[in-house]
């Protein structure tokens, strides 16, 4: 069995599992919402003056806002792999890029990966997705990975917008302007579904991923600048989230539902506005802080204190064990599946002043190389030459770059020469962690009858010239 109650083992396993299912209806619901390519500076509760997000601002007032949350990767598909699996994408066979760009053809996240949806399903929850999948089809689709109800587009909205329900095509080329609305409608349907079971609802929005096409109710001039259209798309997203939260309240389920809002990576370059003041440098694809350090808001009435903010580190890979803990589920991953890299950080969310559960984190560039490690306030960029420069990015160093993120969140001051022992210690730790990950990979999945040409990548192939 995959799910156990705490302290119950051996011969009691079967009865324990039955007991778990019997009490599942008393457990909290979970709504996990993830925007696509949305950065900290896109929300007014994180400092935006260009875009107003009153619904998410209120959600932050009613819950906890994190300032050191990291998405699973600076690009779409591997970020989703991390969120759903509790593991670094490199451990799941990811080499670089996203499905449709960089991933081998007819591939995806292997079906042997034990997902958060499977964990909640096995614990007696009804599970649902409404949004963007981007992790493969043909045995790797949502309905194959633990989602009892699956309403989704299989790729990014710039690649393909065919809409599927439980694996069956329901409409080709869905209108991009209406995706946020229709995903909200499906989420509300799941909330209102009559059932004695609690639900786990995953809403991976397509907004504000390009192309940014505002809904007809958020009118713009035909030749409006992309920054204006982008603002409208984010503001609609905020409104649709409000509709979901209203439906939750009307259904009498607000008090017993954990609601999370976050993003899959930083903003796509070219969508910044004149009034933006990003707290970090970097963007989508990069391992600079702006690539993966994104908003995270969580509300759970009477369990998580309202109006709090925390700088404790949390990562997407932590959500599987953390939400499992919040819902009384002990996660046991099958032997043939992935090893978890995530940490149970539930105490940090319910007691924001508690000692951080996560103290270190690895970073990857979206095109594959492992590039940095953070430990406490310190971050070492050991493969920074792989970063593609933009005007706001700091200059590329000639060697490893050491930053104190507490004092220098924009990664502008290289302290490697001043603190050589600190840099050496972080470098050694990165090599240790990467060596273990690349020694314990499972492959990407493939369509039936398709053999992928890529061999499992070796750590020595991604470390970069500075640390080989």
Using pLDDT thresholds of 50, 70 and 90, give the confidence band for residue 1: very low
State the average pLDDT for the chain: 90
Domain-located, residue 468 = no
DSSP symbol at 293:
B
Among the three residues 359, 387, 417, which one is the final residue of a domain in this structure? 359
Among the three residues 321, 341, 359, which one is the final residue of a domain in this structure? 359
**3-class DSSP state of 380:** strand
Domain-located, residue 467 = no
Tokens linked to 377: 């306030």
Give mean pLDDT, residues 212-228: 90
Chain center to CA of 246: 24
Tokens linked to 311: 């700088």
Highest mean pLDDT of the ranges 217-226, 265-274, 339-348 = 339-348
pLDDT for position 79: 98
Distances (CA, A) of 236 to 17, 52, 78: 42, 10, 26
In this structure, the answer to whether residues 319 and 426 fall within a common structural domain is: no
Check which CATH number belongs to the domain holding 267 and give it: 3.40.720.10
Check which CATH number belongs to the domain holding 380 and give it: 3.30.1120.10
Q: What is the pLDDT of residues 67-82, one digit of tens each?
A: 999 999 999 999 999 9
Q: Which residue has the higher pLDDT, 266 or 23?
A: 266
Domain-located, residue 203 = yes
Among the three residues 359, 394, 409, which one is the final residue of a domain in this structure? 359
Element (H, E) at 86: none
Which residues on neighbouring strands pair with residue 337, listed in sequence order? none
pLDDT of 209 higher than 70: yes
Q: Which domain holds residue 412?
A: 361-461
In this structure, the answer to whether residues 379 and 330 fall within a common structural domain is: no
In this structure, the answer to whether residues 36 and 164 fall within a common structural domain is: yes
pLDDT for position 392: 56
Q: What is the pLDDT of residues 370-402, one digit of tens each?
A: 999 999 999 999 986 656 556 556 666 667 899
pLDDT of 459 higher than 70: no
* b/e burial code for range 259-268 (CB count within 10 A of at least 16 → b): bbbbbbbbbb
How many domains does the structure of the chain reveal? Answer: 2
Q: What is the pLDDT of residues 116-129, one digit of tens each?
A: 999 999 999 999 99
Using pLDDT thresholds of 50, 70 and 90, give the confidence band for residue 11: very low
- HEC string of 344-369 equals CCHHHHHCCCCCCCCCEEEEECCCCC
Nearest by Cα to 264 from 92, 117, 44, 74: 74
């Amino acid at each position: 069995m995959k799910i156990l109650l705490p302290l119950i083992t051996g011969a009691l396993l079967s009865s324990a599992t039955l007991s778990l299912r019997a009490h599942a209806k008393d457990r909290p619901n979970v709504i996990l919402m993830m925007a696509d390519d949305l950065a900290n500076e896109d929300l007014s509760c994180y400092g935006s003056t260009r875009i107003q997000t009153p619904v998410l601002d209120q959600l932050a007032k009613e819950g906890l806002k994190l300032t050191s949350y990291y998405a699973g990767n600076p690009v779409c598909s591997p970020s989703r792999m991390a969120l759903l699996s509790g593991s670094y994408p490199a451990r799941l066979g990811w080499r670089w890029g996203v499905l449709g760009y960089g991933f081998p053809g007819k591939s995806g996240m292997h079906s042997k990966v034990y997902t958060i949806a499977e964990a909640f399903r096995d614990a007696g929850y009804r599970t649902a997705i409404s949004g963007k999948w981007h992790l493969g089809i043909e045995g790797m689709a949502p309905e194959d990975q633990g989602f009892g109800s699956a309403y989704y587009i299989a790729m990014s909205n710039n690649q393909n917008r065919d809409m599927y329900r439980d694996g069956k095509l329901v409409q080709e080329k869905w209108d991009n302007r209406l995706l946020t609305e229709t995903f909200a409608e499906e989420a509300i349907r799941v909330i209102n579904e009559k059932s004695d079971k609690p639900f786990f609802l995953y809403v991976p929005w397509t907004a504000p991923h390009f192309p940014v096409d505002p809904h007809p109710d958020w009118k713009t001039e035909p030749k409006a600048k992309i920054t204006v259209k982008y603002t409208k798309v984010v503001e609609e997203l905020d409104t649709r989230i409000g509709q979901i939260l209203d439906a939750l309240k009307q259904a009498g389920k607000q008090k017993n539902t954990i609601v999370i809002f976050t993003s899959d990576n930083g903003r796509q370059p070219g969508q910044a506005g004149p009034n933006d003041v990003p707290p970090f440098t970097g963007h989508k694809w990069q391992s600079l802080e702006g690539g993966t350090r994104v908003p995270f808001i969580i509300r759970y009435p009477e369990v998580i204190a309202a109006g709090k903010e925390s700088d404790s580190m949390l990562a997407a890979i932590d959500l599987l064990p953390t939400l499992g803990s919040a819902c009384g589920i002990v996660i046991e991953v099958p032997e043939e599946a992935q090893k978890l890299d995530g940490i149970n950080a539930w105490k940090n969310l319910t007691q924001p002043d508690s000692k951080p559960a996560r103290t270190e984190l690895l970073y990857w560039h979206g095109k594959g190389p492992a590039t940095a490690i953070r430990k406490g306030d310190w971050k070492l960029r050991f493969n920074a030459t792989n970063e593609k420069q933009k005007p706001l990015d700091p200059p590329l160093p000639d060697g490893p770059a050491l930053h104190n993120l507490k004092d220098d969140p924009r990664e502008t001051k290289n302290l490697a020469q001043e603190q050589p022992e600190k840099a050496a210690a972080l470098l050694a730790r990165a090599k240790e962690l990467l060596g273990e990950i690349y020694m314990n990979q499972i492959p990407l999945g493939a369509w039936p009858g398709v053999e992928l040409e890529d061999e499992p990548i070796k750590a020595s192939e991604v470390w970069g010239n500075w640390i080989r």
